[in-house]
Structure 1
Amino acid sequence: MALTMPDAMVRRLVLFLTLLVHVARGQVSYSIPEEMEKGSIVGNIAQDLGLDLQRLKSGKARIYSRDSTEYIELNRNTGSLLSREKMDRESLCAKTTPCALHIQMIMENPMEFYTITIEITDINDNAPSFQRKEFRFEISESAAAGAGFMLGRAFDPDVGTHALQRYSLKPTDRFRLELHNQADGSKNVEMILQNPLDRESQSSLILLLEAFGGGDPVLSGTVQIHITVLDINDNAPVFTQKIYKTTITENATKGTILTMVSASDTDEGSNSVVTYYISDTVEKNVAEIFLINEKSGELILNGLVDYEKVSHYEINIQAKDQGGLSNACKVIIDVLDINDNSPMISLLSISNSVSEDSTPGTVVAMMKVDDTDSGVNGQIHCTINDNIPFALISSSSNFISLRIEQQLDRERDAEYNISVTCSDQGVPALFSSASLSLQISDVNDNAPVFEKSHYEACVVENNTPGLSIFTVKASDADWNQNARVSYILEDSTVNGVSVSSYVSVHPDSGLITAVHSFDYEQLKDFHFRVKAQDGGSPPLSSNATVKITIQDQNDNTPQVLYPVQTGASVVAEIVPRAADVGYLVTKVVAVDVDSGQNAWLSYKLHKVTDRALFEVGLQNGEIRTVRQVTDKDAVKQKLTVVVEDNGQPSRSAVVSINVAVADSFPEVLSEFTDFTHEKQYNDSLTFYLILALTVVSLLFIVSITLIISVKIYRWRQNKLFYKSGANLPVIPYYPPVYADGTLQHVYNYEMCGTTDSRMSDMKFIRPYSQNTLVSQSRLGTVQREKKEQEVDDLTLEVRPCLIKCFIKQNIKTTCIYISQNISQNVLSLVSKYEAINKNQSSKYER
């Protein structure tokens, strides 16, 4: 009789509302009714364990059961446990209570597992039933009231309140039922004769035996009892023992005699013949495993027994005489275990690869080892191969984890083949093994290493942009992307400009190329750093220093500093007719901004009016007379001097010099009248000229005063200055040969030139960056250092160009003070001097 749909739904709803959940130490228990629909919710494991749903997804949570029967599935999106199919408690557990499924939930990254116990509660879904379709008895008419006839029992797979509750027998006028409790808690049904039978009045009877289960509604099962009344047989067989006990090993062979039961009947003749048979038992396969000899009562093994499946049997045996009387006894059989099962290794989870920076204690694999034997036969010990940085850690329930024991290094070992061997404690011991392959993934723990920490290279100036200079090389001990090296030019400045404006580094090859053409005169060498960075995350890097030296080329033409060349100039050098041989007419001053032999200058006369009258010094550029001036010599002389450097190929510059051979200034003017009378100046120009001359004169007087003061002070400190090396000696002539072949850019020079070389002066002054106070501090006191610093600072301040032009005894003397960087500032100073020369005619007129 089936439950109605509304009643079933109500009962299941009540069971769901009373669901008990217990969580403790990673274990959770649920209780559900059997026969739940597929997809029904068992419970929310995420809420009960306090887990995040994201953790279930990232950890690839899954359900594992020992017998691989998947009744439960996990929904990772909701954290709910769902039934995969209907579960029949009777099929799973039979009469075992409580009936429970033991499963595990396993997660990875990191590895965790939780034990889940799901108790399946019984519902009233099975009606009591009898294994036999009918019962037949032959009862002697002489049977006295109270005679009993064993009917066996009905079977109800349900348990608890839903199990078999009672029996009823109809009709009840001749027989009644009596229940006998058994040791296992079951009840045998015995039919008791209430009134004697009379074969003559009724030779056979048909009774209806009905068994009722519990629950609501009540389910029942029926069986018919056919009774044949026989002639008198008033004694039933009696067993010598009510309970027989025996043992058997699980490897016993078929046909083994387990025990012998014996029953006797005091009747005589055929009524005393006893027949033995196995009555109905709970275990359905008992009749297939055991046989009994109907005549002798020997209990024989007819099949194989397995301790791991069933370790205990209880068999009900009945003895019946030919008169239909019977009696029953019980045979208890205990199965003894032997070591016939090897350990079983179940690989629950494994990490195919593990990072080399994993900390010791990290779980890389999880296994469950089972041995269905008992006692020492089921005790398991597992080992792994030696000399590897891993260890096995055993936990409860035969779960074993493979953990990292020592720090890993992929550069030393990139792969491990691990063999796990598990053996039991039986005699002889049985074992099994499993092999694991574990890859060590790379971590960016090695920085790139340059072949050299310092690199040097040379580049000739005026190179083409994009010129390959040289290649830096770095290597990385890591693997794959972590070993991919990229080269980066570190940001720095060279002369206030980013180094990336000078060179570039190819990110893959490390090739250093020039961004533009280098100029030795602006940059002689520079340093920068190249960083080698790998492709790891985060990236690691190292640095190397690179020095690039620029080599000079002869790419600059000599520059003539004096005399200044302008197309409108009418000033000429005056040579008196009474000049002696070797008279210094003037001096050509030129510089070459190149270095080395490219800056060595030589002077030659290229074109002169009278070549026999003048000559130029090859090294110093001094133009002197080579003979006595005569009346026949022309007043107006024009010289062309070629200044040539020593480079390959050489470069040169040309300067033209006007020389006037005369004893008086009017004579010179008469010769150059075309220049003096052609220009007409207005009043404003005259005003500016007067103002300029006044300012220049004032500056000249102030400068002379300061210079005289400085000279007096330096004269007093002459010895101290010479010892400290703070000043360099005054040289009477322009230096013919220089340390690097030319005048240096960063030095200052003081020059006074006249037509007489003996009165000319060239003074070398230290660069601004040097401090004379440092050298003097080693020789004098603090007071002297302060005085010397004040004088030196005063000297450095007197830097403007002082020009004064005057005529005395028909000799023109020009004094030029050149300061700062000659190659950059001298042209502007000379331009001022030339502007004054342009206005000389107005002065002469006055």
Structure 2
Amino acid sequence: MTREVLLFIGLFSLDSVMGQVSYSIPEEMAKGSAVGNIAHDLGLQPKRLVSGKARIYTRDSDEYVELHRERGVLLVKERIDREALCRQTTPCALHFQIILENPIEFYTVTVQITDVNDNAPTFENGEMKFRISESTAVGAKFVLKGALDLDVGINDLESYELKPTDNFALKLHNKADGNKNVEMVLQKPLDREKQEQISLVLTAVDGGEPQMSGTMLIAITVLDANDNAPVFTQQTYKATVTENSPKGTVVATVTASDADHGINGKITYSITNTLDGVRKIFDVNEENGAVTLKGNIDFEEYRKYTIDLLASDEGGLTDSCKLVVDVQDMNDNRPEIDIMSKSTVISEDAEQNTVVTMINIEDKDSGENGDIKCFISNNIPFSLKASTNNFYSLVTDSELDRERESEYNITVTCSDEGVPSLSSSVTLTLHISDVNDNVPVFEKSSYEAYIVENNTPGLSIFTVKARDADWNQNARVSYMLEDSSVNGVPVSSYVSVSADSGVIHAVRSFDFEQIKDFQFRVKAQDGGSPPLSSNVTVKVLIQDQNDNPPQVLYPVQTGGSVVAEMVPPSADVGYLVTKVVAVDVDSGQNAWLSYKLHKASDRALFKVGLQNGEIRTVRQVSDKDAVKQRLTVIVEDNGQPSRSATVVVNVAVADSFPEVLSGLTDFAQDKEYNDNLTFYLVLALAVVSFLFITCLVVIISVKIYRWRQSRVLYHSNLPVIPYYPPRYSDTLGTGTLPHVYNYEVCRTTDSRKSDCKFGRAASQNVLIMDPSSTGTMQRIQSEKSILDEPDSPIETGFKQILPRHTVISEKGKGRKRCCSWAD
């Protein structure tokens, strides 16, 4: 907004003043906008405007400006439209006066309204139509109606523009009144067949800011001439068809036009392909140009088809085009899994990330339908890794253990990204080869085997068994004895073990009486490389067999003397005559001995204790009983079958010693007679049965055998078998011999180790006579001094267990008798 103030002061009278002020504002200012500070511009105080009741005076009925007296400013009262107020007149201004009273003052105010580009150029009609023959010559002119712009100055109409300019150009002529004459000039021949209707747009543009314009449509109809062939709307058509679409599906419709009319404008369509099989798959409608399917279409076989189409009119004129059909893929193919290279066997010690198999995956589909993802089952020590496009490698991702799992069936599944997704799978069988990483393990931590003595050498004792978790050669277990000794002898001389079966055989025959148990170690070794082994302890326990008969220790059976037990005729019932002492080197129940009276001169007189072997009287001994009593006692063990030994006990029933001696002589004679009879019988049998040389060999063999047996017993580690003859006492007090001497005997089967100790007098009597001797027996004089000591430890220990032999003594008559063992 500009302001011009022109002040003219004149004197019409003493109280009148006149001035002039000019303002310039744009149109279309908002209501209440300030025009100017009239008080300031006129040099007045605002209170003067109030006191002078200043007001605006104008002849126009419309007031566009109002006065605000308190502020001393002019304000826009109504919207000012320059075009409605002044039209094309320039400049456009408002004129009014400001009048004040007391004293009267008069001021003229001019407000110039400047133009704003608020109107676009407009045409009287929105469309003009022309009919022009296609034979019209170039340069022909066609007058157009111009546009009108209500704005003035720079905002007024400035130029015209015609589009498109293919056939026509625009030409302007200035008129005398300043307006412009607009003409359309033909600059290119028309062709109805190409363009029967031509639409042009004439645009009028003003020079304002922002620039505004108006348009008019020019419609031109081109009149026809029959001079054209059919023409396709496109030289190349494109269409898309989904594979596996059903027959009859419309692929595309091609359209050709003929600018001619009538029969020359009728068009027929056809396919001209010959060699590529297109005509077997596609067909075209002759009338409307619709191309349809007549065969099966497969994206994987052909992804694109090019169809040559021909349009012919009735006059023989033709046109051709191409229809390019892109086949759209459908997810109709499953991924194909190809095993490129694979290993059916892998070692259990294979390192992590060892490649097992290479796999190639291919899906004939495309896009997402051909995008493949592969995976394998979980909880197996393998993983699937993508190496390059569509190539995968199956690798190990943790340690393998054939003993835990010797074979894996790995299923590889591949799925595409199509909807719905298709998948395929293949199963690979992978065997884990063995590595010798497990030692043989015995079924038990230790073994105990039992064998009965006197076994046959080579007898199978026991079988040890070890298992190896490995396979084949690595699991082939061999057994062997570890080097050791038993009692200083290599264990291999006792037992052997089968390398293949683990059966333990006895190498020798075992004797329980020599060795009761022994142990050794067996090693199990596999066939791996290097081999692994473990060992186990085997303890062999020898079980006793009843192979030894009882051995009678007392009474001693000798060939040169007779031992007799004396029983007084006055002996009462239960009188202890003697005690048969026997031992059995076997053990257990095989060594449990029982005693039985087999023969007796008088069975009603004596009995034998079943368990203790004590011979006692059954009834009262009388004078009528024979002095010579002969008892045969059988000693049996408890084995199965039982074995036994026989002992002969001679008993003399008498009060006086001469009677005893005579009885003993009879015993000796009977024995000598029996011995002679046996000798003659054996001699006769030998003479009749064998030749001299045979007898000699037999005798030598028997001697050698006995010598070897004695040597074996002599060198054995068996303890010395103590022999303790029974300690007898006359419990009934009926004995007639007052004094008895004790002695101790320890014997083994080897007489060189025997021992004899003599003791002091006791209460029992024994009588030993040499059959060839009739003299009085000598008393035993030599007694061990240690046994003479009362309560000696040795005597005290033996008193409980040693049997007692006696020496007969008669002091009352001044004579002494004794008896001793005879050689």
Give the TM-score category using the shorter length: 0.3 to 0.5
Give 1 or 2: higher helix fraction: 1
Q: TM-score with structure 2 length normalisation?
A: 0.37
Q: TM-score with structure 1 length normalisation?
A: 0.36
Q: Which structure has the larger Rg?
A: 2
